[in-house]
Amino acid sequence: MQHFYIDREILPNEQIELTGEDHNHIKNVLRMKRGEKVVINDIKGISHICALAGFGEGCSCFDEEESFRCKTELPADIVLFQGVPKKDKMDLIIEKAVELGVSRVVPVLTKRVIVKIEDDKKEAKKLERWRAISKSAAMQSGRGIIPTVDRVMTFKQALDEAGKLEKTIIPYEESEKLGITMKGSREIVKNLKGAGSIGIFIGPEGGFETAEVEEAIRTGAMPVSLGKRILRTETAGLTALSIIMFSIEED
């Protein structure tokens, strides 16, 4: 069934109206008929099976028939703090991160970020595209929520946000210099299970500067190794997310 989202709580037996792009997609793309069903996910993470009751003025009307807590969400909120990469790599990162279960993506300006944020108008347009990608990926993968994509933050702002989370890791290609082994990294990831919120810091092309890693560690981030190979920025975050997803996913 097709998945849609609404930014409020849905009450039992309520009639729900979907408007805008959702209405256009239902009526003109899917060409749904009365009685056909979709899943509508609300802000509480509850999935509702709803039947199309008909079309109103600029809206598709659905009757709620059954509800259940969404089973596709991970047991922890995972926040990806991603150093802003060049070109359209962020599009891919957001799409695949959403598929893997991330709940929030935070673009971060680190010292080695090459991309320049020229003005608010261009940033807003880019953010709108990123959020549309998040929504599309959430619908495709049957997510119970549309993961948030934040405005671009400085590294310090990102560290402050990470401080609100229970645990944070920072994959670092020179982790051996810090005495971090693969065995130690596995133990750190294993101990993430049970945390309600987890942050992951990923550097841009060129990685993090040593001073940034040291600052992250001082604020509580745990450095880990993702192996002996140097991974591209668009690979590193997805690798870390995959490992964490596999480690904390409930049966």
69: three-class secondary structure by DSSP: strand
CA atoms within 13 A on the CB side of 59: 10
List alpha helices for the chain, DSSP H. 20-24, 89-100, 120-141, 155-162, 182-190, 210-218, 233-248
Angle at CA of residue 202, ends 222 and 207, nearest 5°: 105
Is the model's pLDDT at 54 over the cut of 90? yes
The CATH number of whichever domain residue 196 belongs to comes to 3.40.1280.10
Shared-domain flag, residues 88 and 150: yes
Residues 204, 85, single domain; the answer is yes
Same domain, 20 and 61: yes
**In sequence order, what are the residues at sequence separation of 6 or more whose Cβ sits closer than 8 angstroms to the Cβ of residue 167?**
191, 192, 195, 197, 198, 199, 222
pLDDT at 123 over 90: no
Q: DSSP letter string over 187-215?
A: HHHHTTTT-SEEEEEE--TT---HHHHHH
- Is 94 within 8 Å of 103 (Cβ atoms)? no
Asked whether residue 156 falls in the same domain as residue 241, the answer is yes
Asked whether residue 20 falls in the same domain as residue 92, the answer is no
Q: What is the pTM of this model?
A: 0.87
Q: For residues 48 and 88, state if they share a domain.
A: no
Q: Quick check: 47 and 37 in contact, CB under 8 A?
A: no
Overall average pLDDT of the 62-87 stretch? 92
Distances (CA, A) of 50 to 20, 37, 40, 122: 18, 5, 7, 38
Specify the CATH number for the domain of residue 41.
2.40.240.20
Cross-strand partners of 63: 15, 51
Same domain, 43 and 83: no
Looking at residue 249, its pLDDT comes to 87
Residue where a domain stops, chosen among 11, 34, 69? 69
Length of the chain: 251
- Of 130, 200, 140, residue with least CA distance to 165: 200
Same domain, yes or no, for 7 and 113? no
Q: How high is the mean pLDDT of the chain?
A: 91
**Residue 125 and residue 50 share a domain:** no
| pLDDT band with cut points at 50, 70 and 90 for residue 251 | low
> End of a domain among 45, 69, 93?
69
205-249 pLDDT, tens digit per residue, is 988 999 999 999 999 999 998 888 888 999 999 999 999 999 998
Confidence of residue 180 (pLDDT cuts 50, 70, 90): confident
Q: How many domains does the chain have?
A: 2
Q: Which of these three, 29, 48, 69, is where a domain ends?
A: 69
Tokens of 136: 């599309």
The answer to whether residues 144 and 84 belong to one domain is yes
Q: What counts of helices (H) and strands (E) characterise the chain?
A: 7, 12
Residues 202 and 83 in one domain: yes
Residue range(s) defining the domain that contains residue 193: 77-248
Residues 116 and 181 reside in one and the same domain: yes
